[in-house]
Chain A
Amino acid sequence: MEKLKYALFTGCTAKQSTPEQMKSTMAVADKLGIELVELTEASCCGASHLQDYDDFLSLVLNARNIAYAEKHGLTMVTICNTCQLNTAMTKHRLDNNEKLKAQVNEKLAEVGLEYKGTSEVTHFLYAIIDDFGLDKIKEMVKTPLRDFNIAPFYGCHNIRPSELQNETHKSAESAYRPTSLDDLIIACGGNNVDYAEKTKCCGFHAELQAPKTAATLTGNAIAGAMDNDSDWMVTPCPLCHLKLDTQTHHASEAIGREVALPVLHMQQMLGLALGCTPDELGLNHHLTKVDFV
């Protein structure tokens, strides 16, 4: 197989409040022989909040990010569900509206850039499943996670809106019965836990303005995983990770019950199965202690 190479859009969180996600992404890519060219010129995607304030500015900034991936002639790979949504949505809108694309390009021309629409945008989870292949992952597993019941937590922005996701990823998945993360757990040798909350919202995007609502959703998600005998949770979204890992106190208060489970980034889970050390994966950075390794 030809060596896979992507333009990596890290997003902001992997460089700040989830450094272990960046670390584990690079460790896993190294193990799999995937080359990641970091888009160091990229800006924040706006995280769906800048979009509430200034839609056109967010389009210009996201188009600029994709333009840099295009300069490399590579597919852009994201490692955050919300970055994935905002970038893919920008691409969809510009690729389907010549007038809007021209307006955005008029601005990008001021800094010598052009959005052409030539680079695809996909999440690292889907790059692994669609391009690398789960069969090959299975062959490379050194430490099967067979002793663990692992609860997948998909995160809203990788599965909804499904029209956009289906257009973006080669292996389209259902917003109601997604399979990608479950399949990855199984490929790693783990037992995938089925529970109602796995496709629900963690509450991250309303944490500051509606803290009680957000904490209740977080608590319900962890409780759902706990009630189904999960040993730990895994998510492809660093924002979900932040809510589920660091907000357990507020979540417990909100739902009137003590809840806490280790919450691994999907790269960390894959890394464990591939034989990376806990240190290489940054497992020491979690607030909810990862005590099974």
Chain B
Amino acid sequence: MSTDGITTQKVNFKVFRFNANDDYLPYYENYEMDVTSEEVVLDILNRIKWDHDGSFSYRRSCRHGICGACAIKVNGRSTLACKESMTTMIELFGNELTIEPLSIKRSVKDMIIDKGDFWQKHDAIHPFLISDVDENPEHEHIVTQDEAEALLDADICIQCGACHYACPVIEVNDNFMGPAAFAKAYRFEADVRDQAHKERLSELHSEKQGVWDCVKCYECAEVCPKEVNPIDKITKLHQMLFKEGVATSNVATRHAVGFKHSIAKNGVLDEGGLVLYSEGPAIVKHVPVALKMFKKGKIVPPWAITKSQNLDEIKKLVKSSSTVKF
């Protein structure tokens, strides 16, 4: 085999180490290696174990981007080790790379983490087709091409956890379901054969850990090694909640709907009015900050809001283009 075009460069790896059985605190080991342009991140994990320290631990299985076992973080970025080329990592971060597990606080041994929270949340959304199927059907359940395409890419998720442990909400709120669980929920919500459509949506709609607590940061879309684009699925779940009539009036739904009312009235947003519409009487908790903002000239009173020119056009379009009622 020709090796023409293969390049080599020196890389310093700072590698997270921790053994829950022996260590009180984690620490980092440094390994300097010559890395070829042909290697993927998993090759480096293998070389650390095989050439430097046999006790180094990590999960690996298929090496083909299918099993999802080898997801770790490189310089803070969730990465599926068997799929990510070292060339890309070096181009992105340079020659000083820090290798860490997906979640430091969940590390059991080096790169191996306890993914219990991930699987609990995955299971909680009922990740299977719920359908009252005749045990002896007369014919197959035909799904049209359009119906199949409605799943988008949600069915190619490999449960690697890259998005889950990249999600900033998961990091600060243990109860949040997380992008992977929502993407999986969408996979069944969008399946025409599923009969638990509204029940599953209702659970996702619940406050505290539900689909509305997403901060819309796009980290999940950025790190997904399979391009599932979980935030796209979260947005579609939001839309389903309204279209299917499952959405109930809460601060999140009123916040979304309030945009339409505000735009229909002013073209632009009435920011204070939107908060009032969303929060209702609970708006009082914002009063201290609002007063400070008012004193600093940071709040425009409702009567002083500059409306969009050609507002009639906007009103007409809101009326004729609205596709959802709430």
Contacts and interface: CB of A to CB of B under 8 A. Distances in A.
Interface of A: 12-13, 15-20, 40-44, 46-57, 60-61, 64, 107-108, 110-111, 113, 156-157, 160-162, 174-177, 196, 200-201, 203-206, 208-210, 212-214, 216-217, 220, 246-247, 249, 284-287
Interface in B155-214: 168-169, 172-173, 176, 207, 212-214
Given A13-B271, A17-B271, A160-B222, A61 B305 contact: no
A57 B243 CA distance: 14
Interface-central residue, B217, B239, B275, by most chain A CB under 10 Å: B217
Interface stretch (B17-25, B63-71, B112-120, B292-300): B292-300
Given A15-B300, A161-B222, A285-B298, A43 B308 contact: yes
27 contacts: A15-B305, A16-B305, A17-B271, A43-B308, A44-B263, A46-B259, A52-B238, A52-B242, A53-B257, A54-B239, A60-B321, A61-B314, A64-B313, A110-B316, A110-B317, A113-B313, A157-B218, A160-B218, A161-B229, A176-B77, A176-B92, A206-B212, A208-B275, A209-B212, A217-B168, A220-B172, A287-B296
A284 B238 CA distance: 39
Nearest to A196: B76
Contacts of A56: 321, 323
A88 to B, nearest CB: 13
B309 interface: yes
A200 B168 contact: yes
Contact of B306 (A15, A201, A285): A15
Contact of B221 (A13, A17, A161): A161
Interface of B: 75-77, 92-93, 168-169, 172-173, 176, 207, 212-219, 221-222, 229, 235, 238-239, 242, 250-253, 255-257, 259-260, 262-263, 267-269, 271-272, 275, 278-279, 288-289, 292-293, 296-300, 305-306, 308-310, 313-314, 316-318, 320-324, 326
B232 to A, nearest CB: 9
Nearest to A56: B323
A286 B297 CA distance: 9
Contacts of A284: 296-297
A41 B321 CA distance: 18
Contacts of A214: 215
Contact of A43 (B76, B172, B289, B314): B314
Contacts of B235: 51-52, 55
A213 B256 CA distance: 19
Given A52-B256, A54-B322, A210-B173, 14 more contacts: A12-B269, A15-B306, A17-B298, A42-B308, A44-B259, A47-B259, A49-B255, A53-B253, A53-B324, A55-B235, A64-B313, A206-B212, A213-B176, A216-B173
A213 B238 contact: no
* 8 nearest CB pairs, A to B: A160-B218, A52-B238, A201-B217, A50-B259, A12-B269, A209-B252, A53-B256, A111-B313
Contacts of B216: 48, 156, 205-206
A216 B176 CA distance: 14
A53 B242 contact: yes
Interface-central residue, A47, A48, A57, A220, by most chain B CB under 10 Å: A57
Interface-central residue, A174, A209, A213, by most chain B CB under 10 Å: A209
A118 B275 CA distance: 36
Given A53-B239, A54-B260, A176-B75, A160 B214 contact: no
Contacts of A17: 271, 293, 298-300
A168 B162 CA distance: 26
Contacts of B297: 19, 284-285
B260 A286 contact: no
Contacts of A44: 259, 262-263, 267-269
A176 B76 contact: yes
B297 to A, nearest CB: 5
A18 B298 contact: yes
Contact of B218 (A42, A156, A210): A156
Contacts of B176: 213
B292 A213 contact: no
A173 to B, nearest CB: 11
Nearest to B236: A55
Contacts of A246: 289, 292-293, 298
Contacts of B252: 208-209
Nearest to B282: A208
B92 A177 contact: yes
B311 to A, nearest CB: 9
Contacts of B293: 17, 246, 287
A217 B173 CA distance: 11
Contacts of B238: 52-53
Given A208-B252, A287-B292, A287-B293, A15 B207 contact: no
Contacts of A157: 218
Contacts of B215: 201, 203-206, 210, 213-214, 217
A11 to B, nearest CB: 8
Given A16-B299, A41-B309, A176-B75, A57 B323 contact: yes
B149 to A, nearest CB: 13
A173 B311 CA distance: 37
A162 B212 CA distance: 23
Contacts of B317: 57, 60-61, 64, 107-108, 110-111
Nearest to B232: A161
A175 B93 CA distance: 11
